[in-house]
Amino acid sequence: MIDIRNIGITFAQGTPDENIALHDINLSVQRGDFITVVGSNGAGKTTLFNVLAGNLLPTTGSITMKDAGSTIDITLQKEFRRARYIGRIFQSPLLGTAGKMSLEDNLMIASYKGCKQLKINLNKRKRDEFKTQLAELGMGLEDRLADNVELLSGGQRQALSLLMATMSHPALLLLDEHTAALDPANAAIVMGLTTRFAKERALTVMMITHNMRHAIETGNRLLMMDSGEIVFDIGTEEKAKLLPEDLVTRFKELKRREIVSDGMLLQ
Ligand SMILES: Nc1ncnc2c1ncn2[C@@H]1O[C@H](COP(=O)(O)OP(=O)(O)OP(=O)(O)O)[C@@H](O)[C@H]1O
Ligand SMILES: [Mg+2]
């Protein structure tokens, strides 16, 4: 469904601070995939999401998308246009919702995302629909439609972000460590909602996580990134055999190799 070909990102090109954040990335995402993405700090995970979301334009390469039999090149498409079909949730619960607005106003905006219609009406039918959807989160938010979102806890707010991001049926949902800022209990609740929504709403998801157990137990494919490259790409069967310790060992091996090659450069 989405094809990433030879994507490269170089920051501060041609200066002493030059940094190759992504190096010749190739990746095909199929409809219905749930891909978990792991990698140490600075590996290029968020940068890859930025390129997919249109927040950063790649230095090299292309991104194409297949939709209803036709293929469109979205490499240079503006972020606000892509936002119609690419949803994104960040680590901070503050980023996916508008704190100073009520729950119902936030949901109203989310439900009209991508619509050309200018006039939006919050009628009883719409309000009942929101209540039903909020009740699905199992957090009692259906009784708090008029409350401002800033009154919610981090976990509640992130669950609301998830609901809002999936309301417009995005073709791709990007989750960037979306449970990392939550306490373990809330992280488990939001992860549970994530896998449930992905299944029920037949979503295509990419999820960055530093939680090795989540990375292994969730989804049908796992990518490991290191120094701007995809170093490891496995499917369901291989993933089922993996243990969190195996991934940690891989990380250590990669780090050792980097130290060795840096050492060689210094000689
Ligand atoms: N806008 C930017 N300008 C310059 N360098 C950047 C920019 N964004 C990211 N980088 C650099 O690109 C590299 C990859 O960063 P990125 O944020 O993608 O890592 P990450 O894998 O998401 O790490 P983390 O797990 O810490 O979130 C890092 O060296 C980072 O400093
Ligand atoms: Mg990141």
The whole-chain average pLDDT of the chain stands at 90
Question: What pLDDT, on the 0 to 100 scale, is given for residue 158?
Answer: 95
pLDDT at position 120 is 66
Distance (Å, whole) CA 193 – CA 187? 10
Give dist(CA 98, CA 42) in Å, integer.
29
Eight-class DSSP state of 30: P
pLDDT at 267 exceeding the cut of 50:
no
Over residues 109-154, the pLDDT tens digits come to 888 776 666 566 778 888 999 999 999 999 999 999 999 999 999 9
Separation CA 18–CA 134 (nearest Å): 46
CB burial string 228-246: b at 16+ within 10 A, e below: bbbebeeeeeebeebeeee
**Substitution candidate for ligand 1 out of 45, 176, 178, 231 with most atoms within 8 A of CB:** 45
Closest CA to 206 of 41, 52, 39, 24: 52
Using one digit for the tens of pLDDT, what is the confidence trace for 241-251? 999 888 888 88
Centre of ligand 2 to C-alpha 210, Å, is 10
Q: What is the pLDDT of residue 176?
A: 97
For a mutational test of ligand 1's pocket, the pick from 9, 22, 46, i.e. the residue with the most ligand atoms closer than 8 A to its C-beta, is: 46
- Positive or negative: CA dihedral 10, 31, 236, 190: positive
Q: Which atom of ligand 1 is nearest to the CA of 47?
A: 18
In contact, 221 and 133? CB cutoff 8 Å: no
**How many C-beta atoms lie closer than 10 Å to residue 227's C-beta?**
18
Q: pLDDT (tens digit, 9 = 90+) per residue, 176-205?
A: 999 999 999 999 999 999 999 999 999 999
What's the pTM value of the predicted model, to 2 decimals? 0.92
Q: Using DSSP bridges, classify how beta strands 86-89 and 2-11 pair: parallel, antiparallel or unpaired.
A: unpaired
Is pLDDT above 80 for 159? yes
Q: Is the CB of 230 under 6 A from ligand 1?
A: no
Residue with tokens 């708090």: 144
**pLDDT tens, residue by residue, 78-119:** 998 898 899 999 999 888 899 999 999 999 988 877 666 656
Task: Say how far apart CA 21 and CA 47 lie, in whole Å.
Answer: 7
Query: Which helix (H) or strand (E) is 168 found in, with range?
Result: none
Distance CA 161, CA 156 (A): 9
Q: What does the pLDDT read at residue 261? A: 63
